[in-house]
Amino acid sequence: MPILPIDSGRYGSKEIREIFEEETRLRYELSFEAAVAQAQSSIGMIPEPAAKEIARQAKSGKVTLARVRELESVSEHDTAAIVEALAEQCSASSKPWIHYGLTSNDVVDTCTSMQMKDAFSIMEPKIARLAGLFVDKAVKYRSLPAVGRTHGQHASIISFGLKFAVWASELAQHLQRIQEAKKRFLVCKALGVVGTGSLMGEKAIEVQKIAAQSLGLYPVDAATQVVPRERYAEMIFLISLVGSTLDKVAIEVRNLQRTEIGEVAEPFRKGQMGSSAVPVKRNPIKSERVSSLARLLRSFVGVSLENVGLWHERDLSNSANERFTIPMATILLDEMLNAMIRVVSDLAVNTDRITANLEATKGQIYAEFVLEALVKKGMPRFEAYRDIQRIAFEAHDKGKHFLDAIKQDKKLAGKLTAKELGRIFTPEEHLGASSKIIDRVAEMVRRSTKNMA
């Protein structure tokens, strides 16, 4: 009976969950045993017939999860049970060469790398797709002026499309980070009990290199009994960093969907219910889910950093928690990507509300540009600043439009012509370099996501 929501299939795609199922993990572990045996045979370390039989039986499907569990119930050692189950399928002449020169964490850590290699092959195209969706929105809304908010207050004019361009840029950066870091955490280890290669001697380095290449991994340059956990900490951090960007997007969607703002809305399908009590509600539940899962995701970073400092050449204080953190972090990020792709694909953008919100402060959003114009006319900056502040605060208290207040102020009246004021209070005049920035981001995203769709 499922206990965690991940177990019931609530979160994550079927293909990402399958990577971490016990049956699939056993296949990875057996593939590693086969790869090492074949590598050892290729340099004459073990007999070729033995290597072929070990590889054949490892891939035959005869080593079952049920039998491994049965053996583990006696030995209380999961890797030893796999080796024993494999040995049951091999001839007497091949048995001595199974798992030759290896230790359990050679299998465990390399298996994790194999899992994560496949997991990233699923998640990276989704990151690329989401970046592309952001670029599409950025280009579509590049010329739409909107309220730019700082500290939750109206600050200045922003291109609505620029919001999406910023997010697209960060996702492209994440893809670059992942590609650069793969050589550090997608590693194969075949160096034995304390990382010396012990039984295989100097040839262990060559065995590891050949096995890594056959598995599509990178040979670890140095290790103890385990792959250094700095590698895993970096991997979990990168996963959490992508999740944090998705959280940032989700927070913006949630805020802009507030009734008082109303600039965007998540897709709301026919038959969907926003509230069991209030029939009219349309809640941003997918974005809220992303934010909720991001909090859990970030907590795994601290755990992963704690795992860096193991005793001597290793202890088991990392082992139990990694059975949670690595698969859960991966599955949760996959879920967050799926949710955000759905949100952005059919995001409703209320352009009328975006335009109307520009006038929510009755023209005070143009204060930055009034200040600039007065300074160019020769007024000292802080003198102009204080006058604008005085006029704006008085206009707010009296419910007067900022433009009218400027025209009626004894000190500032006449300093700016009607034509100058008209241009200042036209939002399309203040999009700055937005269009150029969006074009540059679009090109960067295209380069970063090439061949990832």
Q: Name which of 119, 113, 126, 128 is nearest 15 in CA terms.
A: 119
Q: Report the chain's terminal Cα–Cα distance, integer Å.
A: 36
Contacts of 380 (CB under 8 A, 6+ apart): none
- Measured CA to CA, the distance from residue 387 to residue 148 in angstroms comes to 23
Q: Name which of 318, 120, 329 is nearest 217 in CA terms.
A: 120
- Measured CA to CA, the distance from residue 368 to residue 372 in angstroms comes to 6
| Contact (Cβ atoms closer than 8 angstroms) between residue 334 and residue 122 | yes
Q: Is 275 a catalytic residue?
A: yes
Of 60, 91, 121, 275, catalytic: 275
- Measured CA to CA, the distance from residue 90 to residue 68 in angstroms comes to 15
- Measured CA to CA, the distance from residue 207 to residue 37 in angstroms comes to 9
Q: How many residues does the chain have?
A: 453
Residue 154 pairs in a beta bridge with: 149
Q: Is 401 a catalytic residue?
A: no
Of 73, 151, 276, 312, catalytic: 151
Q: What is the CB neighbour count within 10 angstroms for residue 250? A: 25
Residues annotated as catalytic (active site), given as ranges = 151, 275
